[in-house]
Structures are given as C-alpha cells and as structure tokens.
Structure 1
Amino acid sequence: MVSLAPVIQRNCKLNCLKTAGCCSLLLQCANVEHINGNKYGDFLQELGTTYCLEDVEMGWGFCPIRIEDLVPSFSKVRKMKIGLGTSLAENVLCALPMICPFLESLILRFQVISDRVVRRLLESATNLQVLCLHYCLGSLTSFSFQTKAPALRVLRLHWVTSWLTNDDLTILTENCNLAELSLSGCKLLDSSSQDIISSGWPNLALLHLEVCLTAVLIMTIE
C-alpha cells in the first residue's frame, strides 16, 4: 500500500482525515526514504502544508508519529479523536488548547491521562463543548473537574471515574451546564444522585448511566 502523502498532495482542501487500524497506511511499498530520520517524512511534509484540517481521528496508523510534527496542520482542527494505537504524551495533551485553539470536541480512548491534563483542557480550551474519556488510564481524581467549564455541553466518562461521589457530582453541576451526561462504572453513586442530576442540569437532553448501582435502577424505573 502506498503512502498517504500523494493523496494529501493532490487534495489540498482536505479537511477531514480519519485513520484507525490501518497499520501500513503511511508506509510506502519499498525503498522508503528517511527524511530527518523519519521514514514517514513524505507524509509529514505533505500534511504540514495542509492547513484545512478540521476533523482528525488517529489510531494505529499514526502510532509512530509525534503530534508535535503536525502542529501547523492542526491549527484549525475542531474535532479530534485519539484511539487505541496512538499514545499522546502528557505534555502534548496539555498543549492541545494551544495546538488546536478552535477545538470543540475531544474524544480520548485508552490514553494515559491525569488531573493536570483534564484541568488544562477544561481551563484553556475555551471552545471545548464535548469531552469524552473512554477506558483511559492514569491517576485521575475529583480534582480534575473542580474548575469552571462554561462551554462544555457533553461529558462522557466511561470507566475512568470509579471514585465519583454525590459530592463530586454536585461540583460538576456547579462548574458546567451540560446537555448530555454519560457515566459508566461510577459505583459510589446512590439514590440521591437522581436529585443532584435533575436539579443541577434541568436541560439535559440525554442521560446515560451504566453500572452506577442504585442510580441506574431508579432512572430505569421512573
């Protein structure tokens, strides 16, 4: 399979690039030339001249590439999804608000995250409306969400906040005005969670609770 470089070269107005599970997509068939010590040099050079990208999804195909090399072409990105096979360092995740100043939606799957990462995103990504954390690893605590995020409308926390309590839920209602909330694996929530959610976010359009003990039962029954 040939490299993506010629595809990007011939489509200068490319604004959506999604590659996941394509382990050989960036490689050339043979005699791959190394540019600056990187066998993906052709691809990086072409992508670096593309300033129209607004929607990016990265999976296995991007695994060896540093996102720092893509900074120029990511300046207009509004939607980003980072999945299994691409691992972004903490300093890169923290720098996303600067790399992608117009970022509105961020989905992280199987990434190593921390309180520092989440707080930096909520505090500095002023246009961020959607934040989804799925099966992420790291030392995440309630401190992550103890900051204002007035633009945030959709929050999905799937199996990353097992420590979430009613007190943490109350803090969330005070810091963001959600239209969609999805929680999985929050086993410390109880019957009082329903009142906190209904009073804290009266304009919810979607609520998804999975394996959240009695809270799930109450929501289902009523």
Structure 2
Amino acid sequence: MNDNKNDFGVAEPPDLCSPFIDDLGVTGVSIAVFGPRGGQTTICSSDAVAARIDELQFDLGEGPQWATLKTGVPTLVPDVSTGTHDSWPIFAASIGSLHVGALFSFPLLMGAVTVGAVGLYRRTAGALSPQHIEIAVTLASALTDVAVRHAIAGAGIEGAGESMLTPAMRREVHQATGMILVQLDTTATIAYSRLQAHAFANGRTVQDIARDVVSRHLSFKSLPE
C-alpha cells in the first residue's frame, strides 16, 4: 500500500511508468485516464517529451491516444516519418520537432469500456515485438484499477498539484469551456472547439488560453468570428 501523500492529502500514485520503460525498452511513457465527459487526468509522464506528446493530443483532440480510446485496441506507429497519418494530420505535424521515431498506445480497459490509454514513444523508429506487445497489454491491464482510483481522488481536490510531468485534471480547461459557452451562447462542443482553434492559431497550448479565459484576461465575446 502506498502511504505517501501530497500536500492535498491524496496518496501519490506508485511509479506506474517505469515498468513500461524497463520491460519494453521504450524511451518514455505517459498514462492518462478519461472521464465519461471527456475530462482527462494524466497519472504520470516519465519525461518532458512524453508529457508534451500527451499535452498535444489533449489540445488537438487527435493522435494515437484518441484512436485507442475509440477502438479499445492498441495503436502502433513504428515509424512516425512514414504514412499519411490521415487520422491525426495536425498532431503528426506538431511532433516533428520532438525527435520521436515511434509511438504506441495501449488501452486501459475496465471490462468492455476503455477508460484511458498508455502512450509510449521511442526516439528511434522500430516496431514492438509480439512479445513486447503482449507485455504492454498485461502491464496496462494490471495498472487500470490504481490509475482510475488516483484519477478520481485527484479530481476531487480543488487546486491539486500540477507540474509539467504530471498534469492534474485540466480543471481550467473545463471551466474556460463553460465560460466560453456562456460568452458565445453556444454548446459545450463548439465552445471547446473555439478554445482549441484559438490556441492553435496563436501557437499556444489549450491550457494557456484556458488560464487567460478563467482569469478574465481573454473574452471570446470580443474576438472576431
């Protein structure tokens, strides 16, 4: 049992990322859990590149992680430099500066429901062996319960700790979406799309724009259509 707790009284999750690196020989890992309304909690990211890959997919709403969430099966991209990436063209273009050679995503499953994803990357291109795929599936299955428990615990703590490597539930993004919804008298889906579009057009993250909206430094009511 993990008795370590953060400043908010929530037990810190065990090191869930390391086994994937140790057993699969990948460069980095991120693990994210998704709520029924699309809210994301990133449980851990092993390094800054893994965190950025996770953040880009959250910001853009596309990438291997989203494909895995939709299908419930692993998404394997052994060489990101090849293929058309029709399902995630903006994400593929956005990771060009990260020097990522391969990406893999494995589902976190609770019964038949996909509740999250484990994202893996390698600096160099190369496929996972059938044995490594089997190990990744086993590791993902073993950590699902603890990942979900920590996501639920963290979501209930207002202002829970957040860092580049372990971003908490994006509360500001959801709060900003609600504020934009009111400002534009529109739906939550359109409000979030406007948030994404504004972030992309200005070369900033959705999190940054959301923070400006919540702090009332930015109002979408005053922006041009």
Fold match by TM threshold 0.5: no
Q: Which protein shows a greater Rg?
A: 1
Structure with the higher helix share, 1 or 2: 2
- Give the alignment's TM-score, normalised by structure 1: 0.22
